[in-house]
Copies of this chain bind each other. A is one copy, B any other.
């Protein structure tokens, strides 16, 4: 069993500093989500300071949502600093598969060997696994199973946890696998929910020894916040602020009782 209550308690009692090199669209909401859950966010991307900032941090998020060349250099420098300090690095390969620039950059970051967790959706995972073309063929009969295969392969190939979000989330380190059934469709109507999931994953991983458990716990926590925020919710604007309220209010016991995580067999 994943000790969800203890994990959330750890974050609240020893707030981790999470260094985010992330996209412009979600910087504000990411910072607020981290604050709401009890962590401390910092954003910095200048090559002159990223190593030093990562040197203060308890976890690092690399999010390629609005990329440019100078940001990639900063990400590589921060990733190297994170490795030295053995703090967890979460990669969010936003839009991998949409452009070659994004796919290549995500693969390049993966190749550094510094990434602990890849938090992504199915199409991004398929793109990183190089299976995009194939999935349009045979596998299309069962896209979820095909994505699970890709996630497991990617986890083994790069020695990372793959935390794949979707209608049901799937989290694997290539050896263990879990499905997380928390969440609400309204989360897809708001920009940056994937990015928030990645940042929360980093916060939980900062206070845990097991990145696979941390990734699953973070998705259960965020999914539960989505469920609470969606109650009698008139629209995505209301949902947006209630999501922050819920992240701040969920207590460890509630998380343990309402998380819907079940371990499952690995494909392949």
Contact = CB atoms under 8 A, between A and B. Distances in A.
A197 to B, nearest CB: 16
B234 A52 contact: no
B41 A68 contact: no
Interface in A39-77: 41-46, 48-49, 52-53, 56, 65-70
A243 interface: yes
A187 B66 CA distance: 28
A109 interface: no
Nearest to A29: B28
Interface string A123-160: 00000000000000000000000000000000000000
Contact of A245 (B25, B236, B244): B236
Each complex incorporates copies of this chain amounting to 3
Contacts of A248: 189, 235-237
Nearest to A20: B25
A99 B101 CA distance: 30
A138 B1 CA distance: 47
A245 B237 contact: yes
A249 interface: yes
Given A46-B67, A70-B68, A244 B237 contact: yes
Contacts of A100: 49, 52
